[in-house]
Structure 1
Amino acid sequence: MSEIKLVGTAHVSRKSIDEVKAAIEEFEPDVIAVELDRPRFEAIKNKDTRAPDVSEILSGGNFSELLVQWLLAYVQKKIGMDVGVEPGAEMLAAINEAEERGIPIALADRDIRITLSRFVSGMTLFEKVKLLVALAGAVTGKDGGEEIDIDELSQNKDLIEAAIEEFGRFSPGGAKALIAERDAYLTHSLLNLSRNNEKVLGVVGAGHVKGIRKYMEDPSSLPEMASLVQKPKPFPWAKILGVGFIALFAFLIILIAFSGVGWGVLLEAVLYWVIINGVLAAGFTLAAGGHPLSALTAFAVSWMTSLNPMLAAGWFAAITEAKVRKPGALDFRKIMEAENFTEMRKVPLFRVVLVAAMANVGSTIGTFAYFIFIFPILGIDPKVVLLDGLSNFSAFIGSLLPF
């Protein structure tokens, strides 16, 4: 009968490295399953030295997910540096030990891109804001947190469970994607390996051990693998909102045109649409550390992208940024090795994604700001425009009807 042994680790714990090596020595597994997917395996082995495909990154459009992934990795690395161990060191120890002994390695974790996609889509807007604030505090060192005893964390089951429960209260949907779903995915991987191997050693984060064991005790409770690997298809709020703004802008221009305030005011209304959207998109691009040409691109296209839900100012700004400051083959590694957020911003690939995200934020704020401030800027009474414009427009439409 097959036997599955779990080693629960803290990803930045020196003690975990020793425990992994001891488990391999004592258990003598036929296969070692590590909590990694292919991209993270390549990264930890430093085999992936290809230049990043910027066009693929931009076409995905998941700029916020990428930033969250990198910032989470940075925070984990920062903890690892504090205790003198690189994140993933216990996984690397398992891989190296397996290679020395000729033991096959199995990548047991779900693709990080699917996990992050489900993680982000499972969070509410308020939860996403709280997460970004927490990450920003950790990156800048202003989180006010206490020093963490990593070895205690990996050994203290009550502490681990308390942390998981706290995260579950913080974001039920996010916790499901990061923890519960991956418990199930890892269990599927381990059970599949046990069908062809007598001894399977699973090297997983300590936070997954309880969930994996629970599923192993009752495999019938495991969700189907297909349900765990589907990328979520969230309701297209952004597109609906974009279409709504297009309709609102068109309606506003029509009302101004028919209100009798004059063609000069109409032209000003259109001009301010270009200026407000453009200035904010460009300003946020510069705040992200973008090149002046990237900011100019954001300014030039923001008025148009705000009227087309299929386009984004950040996409164009990021393309320019990538052309001017070309990302290099080692940019992924440089992002992970950055000592602080300032160093992260200096890495061309990180800056390209940050520019894309920030330009989109600026353009979106510009759109909202336009509808809030346009009437005071133009110096006209909105009641006059709305009532007279609607009345005159209705009369015009009526004159075109054959009855």
Structure 2
Amino acid sequence: MGEIRLVGTAHVSQASVDEVRSTIEEYQPDVVAIELDKARFAAIRNQGEKPTVNEILKGGNFSELLVQWSLAYIQRKIGMDVGVEPGAEMLAAIEEAEKNNIPIALADRDIRLTLSRFWGGMGIIEKLKLLFAVVGAVAGGGDEEELDIEELTKNQDLIEASIEEFRKFSPKGAAALIGERDAYLTHSLLRLASKNEKVLGIVGAGHVKGIKEYMAKPETLPPFSSLVEQPKGFPWKLAFGVFFVALFAFLILLIGFSGVGLDVLLEAIFYWIIINGVLAAGFTLLAGGHPLSALTAFGVSWLTSLNPFLAAGWFAAITEAKVRKPQASDFQEILDAESFNEMRKVPIFRVVLVAALANVGSTIGTFAYFIFIFPILGIDPTVILADGFSNLISFIEGILPF
């Protein structure tokens, strides 16, 4: 087994760039393992193929995309503040390794799988907390404090404290972003060390402790196969969708059998269309969507809320894409944006934002309907539901052959 040396870096630190270059020059490893996957390696070399608008729409992971882009923006903003591009230390490692004719190994897990496990593993409360935190950071909320990136890379206690805070904030999110990747990176480094005498690992400072602990006790490493599986959690989204469809159908059925009259029944259906449509359209406009996109959201929300396999945001996003006409260059514009307002002006960002917020509006509309429908109709739900249920049972008994 070969020797493994780690360099813990900050992704927006000039000191990290300098340390990476000097360590490669001094250590002369047989291979340089960097905390990148194929997609991020291609992106950092400006060689990656950008997804098309159709691929983004078909993927449907609009909230994940927004979080990913927002986190990238936050990292870039920190980089602008300290004068260093995000990922500069990884690019320095690549350039220095190539200059010394040293092979490069990509040691990290596919970013798409990591984000899928990150987002899929979190509960709804964790997701909401994260979204609020990201929105606050992107919008510039919170206390403005001087951030010493160089001190952060040197102070392991501070790094560990930050990671612990993240674990408290989002236990499952931290597991996917940090814990699982500590294990994945360790597997990569040990595999390289089995074939090379000297391996240099360039990883984020937050991974150093976890990697060293796994190296000290390799038997504690989780199986590699468990780190690359797609998450298979309970399909809560589908379950909630089916539940609310069944609840709506049952509610309409009880109102119909309660004897209040056809006009009240039609009014209940009318308000389902209005409440879902208005909120979906309103959130579309809040995202900066075109009026035609808002009209689309209004028109389909009542129906998509009755089908767990459809989403109002998807239809609104298609309309938005037709109107805004995103280009391949939009992805670079998102990366180059210096403010959230600049990001919002980029067509592809607007399309994804419209999709996400239209879905949020439609979901809120579904909850709001069940909360406010009886006060709106001006009827007593206990009487209506009791009478409706009683009449329904009598009807069923009347048609049964026994």
* TM-score of the superposed pair, with normalisation by structure 2: 0.96
Equivalent position of 1:302 in the other structure: 301
Report if aligned partners of 1:294, 1:318 keep a CA contact under 8 Å in 2.
yes
Report if aligned partners of 1:253, 1:266 keep a CA contact under 8 Å in 2.
yes
Equivalent position of 1:203 in the other structure: 202
Report if aligned partners of 2:52, 2:328 keep a CA contact under 8 Å in 1.
no
Are 1:84 and 2:88 an aligned pair?
Answer: no
What pairs with 1:18-29 in structure 2 (closer than 5 Å)?
18-29=18-29
Equivalent position of 1:67 in the other structure: 66
Amino acid across the alignment from 2:11: H
Report if aligned partners of 2:32, 2:97 keep a CA contact under 8 Å in 1.
yes
Q: How far apart are 1:23 and its partner, in Å?
A: 0.6
Q: Provide the rounded CA distance (Å) in 1 between the counterparts of 2:213 and 2:245.
A: 51
Q: Provide the rounded CA distance (Å) in 2 between the counterparts of 1:343 and 1:83.
A: 21
Q: Provide the rounded CA distance (Å) in 2 between the counterparts of 1:15 and 1:99.
A: 20
Q: Provide the rounded CA distance (Å) in 1 between the counterparts of 2:10 and 2:281.
A: 42
Question: SS at the partner of 1:186?
Answer: helix
Report if aligned partners of 1:258, 1:393 keep a CA contact under 8 Å in 2.
yes
Q: Provide the rounded CA distance (Å) in 1 between the counterparts of 2:167 and 2:138.
A: 22
Q: How far apart are 1:51 and its partner, in Å?
A: 5.0
Farther off after superposition, 96-105 or 80-89:
96-105
Equivalent position of 1:8 in the other structure: 8
Deviation string, structure 1 residues 77-101 (Cα, Å, up to 9, x no partner) = 1111110001100001111122222
Q: How far apart are 1:163 and its partner, in Å?
A: 1.2
Equivalent position of 2:100 in the other structure: 101
Amino acid across the alignment from 1:228: L
Q: Provide the rounded CA distance (Å) in 1 between the counterparts of 2:290 and 2:26.
A: 56
Amino acid across the alignment from 2:387: D
Deviation string, structure 1 residues 361-387 (Cα, Å, up to 9, x no partner) = 100110111111112222223233212
Amino acid across the alignment from 2:4: I
What pairs with 1:256-335 in structure 2 (closer than 5 Å)?
256-335=255-334
Q: How far apart are 1:171 and its partner, in Å?
A: 2.1
Q: Provide the rounded CA distance (Å) in 2 between the counterparts of 1:221 and 1:373.
A: 53
Question: SS at the partner of 1:286?
Answer: helix
Q: Provide the rounded CA distance (Å) in 1 between the counterparts of 2:257 and 2:219.
A: 67
Question: SS at the partner of 1:118?
Answer: helix
Deviation string, structure 1 residues 290-332 (Cα, Å, up to 9, x no partner) = 1112111111111111011111111111122222222211222
Q: Provide the rounded CA distance (Å) in 1 between the counterparts of 2:194 and 2:382.
A: 74
Q: Provide the rounded CA distance (Å) in 1 between the counterparts of 2:377 and 2:168.
A: 47
Q: How far apart are 1:8 and its partner, in Å?
A: 0.8
Q: Provide the rounded CA distance (Å) in 1 between the counterparts of 2:101 and 2:288.
A: 47
Amino acid across the alignment from 2:18: D
Equivalent position of 2:45 in the other structure: 45
Report if aligned partners of 1:13, 1:150 keep a CA contact under 8 Å in 2.
yes
What pairs with 1:215-226 in structure 2 (closer than 5 Å)?
215-226=214-225
Q: How far apart are 1:145 and its partner, in Å?
A: 4.1
Structure 2 unmatched ranges of 5 or more = none
Amino acid across the alignment from 1:381: D
What pairs with 1:24-35 in structure 2 (closer than 5 Å)?
24-35=24-35
Amino acid across the alignment from 1:397: I
Q: Provide the rounded CA distance (Å) in 1 between the counterparts of 2:327 and 2:197.
A: 44
Question: SS at the partner of 1:203?
Answer: strand
Amino acid across the alignment from 1:371: F
Equivalent position of 1:350 in the other structure: 349
Deviation string, structure 1 residues 86-132 (Cα, Å, up to 9, x no partner) = 11000011111222222221111111111122222333332222222
Once the two structures are aligned, what percentage of the paired residues are identical? 73
Question: SS at the partner of 1:144?
Answer: coil
**Superposition misfits of 4+ residues, deviation over 6 angstroms:** none
Question: SS at the partner of 2:12?
Answer: coil
Q: Provide the rounded CA distance (Å) in 2 between the counterparts of 1:37 and 1:43.
A: 10
Deviation string, structure 1 residues 178-221 (Cα, Å, up to 9, x no partner) = 11111111111111122222221111111111111111122222
Equivalent position of 2:250 in the other structure: 251
Q: CA RMSD in A?
A: 1.5
Q: Provide the rounded CA distance (Å) in 1 between the counterparts of 2:161 and 2:390.
A: 63
Q: Provide the rounded CA distance (Å) in 1 between the counterparts of 2:22 and 2:190.
A: 23
Amino acid across the alignment from 1:247: A
Q: Provide the rounded CA distance (Å) in 1 between the counterparts of 2:155 and 2:99.
A: 31
* TM-score of the superposed pair, with normalisation by structure 1: 0.96
Amino acid across the alignment from 2:208: V
Amino acid across the alignment from 2:188: S
Q: How far apart are 1:252 and its partner, in Å?
A: 1.5
Q: How far apart are 1:26 and its partner, in Å?
A: 0.3
Report if aligned partners of 1:6, 1:209 keep a CA contact under 8 Å in 2.
yes
What number of residue pairs does the alignment pair up? Answer: 402
Amino acid across the alignment from 2:34: V
Amino acid across the alignment from 1:22: S
Structure 1 unmatched ranges of 5 or more = none
Equivalent position of 1:236 in the other structure: 235
Amino acid across the alignment from 1:368: F
Report if aligned partners of 1:184, 1:223 keep a CA contact under 8 Å in 2.
yes
Equivalent position of 2:371 in the other structure: 372
Q: Provide the rounded CA distance (Å) in 2 between the counterparts of 1:149 and 1:208.
A: 19
Report if aligned partners of 2:31, 2:104 keep a CA contact under 8 Å in 1.
yes
Q: Provide the rounded CA distance (Å) in 2 between the counterparts of 1:320 and 1:101.
A: 51
Equivalent position of 1:119 in the other structure: 118
Amino acid across the alignment from 2:342: E
